[in-house]
Amino acid sequence: MNSYNQVRGTPLISIVIPTYNHANYLKVALRSIIEQNYKNWEVIIVNNNSSDNTLAIISEFNESRFCVVNIENHGVIAASKNKGIEVARAEWIAFLDSDDSWTADKLEVVVEKINGDESLDLIYHELKISRENFKKFRQKKLKTWKLPKSPLKSLLLRGNPIANSSVVVRKCAMEQIGCFPVSPSLIASEDYFAWLKLAALNKKFLLIKKTMGNYLIHENNVSNNINTDSLISAVENFRVFLNARENKKLDALIDYVSGKKLYEKGLFQDAIIIFIKNLYKADLRIKIQSLLFILFIIVQL
Higher confidence at residue 229 or residue 83? Answer: 83
Residue 138's pLDDT band, with cuts at 50, 70 and 90, is: low
Cα–Cα distance measured from residue 113 to residue 91, given in angstroms and rounded to the nearest whole number: 15
Cα–Cα distance measured from residue 232 to residue 203, given in angstroms and rounded to the nearest whole number: 23
Percent of the chain clearing pLDDT 70 (strictly above): 92
Report H helices in the chain.
2-8, 23-34, 54-61, 77-87, 106-116, 152-158, 171-176, 190-200, 228-236, 244-264, 268-281, 284-300
Q: What is the DSSP string of 93-130?
A: EEE--TT-EE-TTHHHHHHHHHHH-TT--EEEEEEEEE
Reference 143, options 241, 215, 47, 63; nearest CA is 215
In the prediction, which pLDDT does 90 show? 98
Higher confidence at residue 7 or residue 297? Answer: 297
Cβ within 8 Å of residue 205, ≥6 positions away: 121, 122, 123, 124, 147, 151, 162, 198, 199
5, pLDDT greater than 60: no
pLDDT tens-place string over residues 141-166: 888 999 999 999 999 999 999 999 99
Mean pLDDT to the nearest integer, 87-104? 97
- Any idea where the domains of the chain sit in the sequence? 2-223, 243-300
13-19 and 41-47 as β-strands: parallel, antiparallel, unpaired?
A: parallel
Mean pLDDT of the chain: 91
Cα–Cα distance measured from residue 193 to residue 159, given in angstroms and rounded to the nearest whole number: 11
Reference 90, options 112, 114, 72; nearest CA is 114
Q: What CATH homologous superfamily does 2-223 map to?
A: Spore Coat Polysaccharide Biosynthesis Protein SpsA; Chain A (3.90.550.10)
Cα–Cα distance measured from residue 285 to residue 6, given in angstroms and rounded to the nearest whole number: 44
Residues in the chain: 301
Residue 39's pLDDT band, with cuts at 50, 70 and 90, is: very high
Percent of the chain clearing pLDDT 90 (strictly above): 75
Q: Would you tell me how many other CB atoms lie within 10 Å of the CB of residue 50?
A: 18
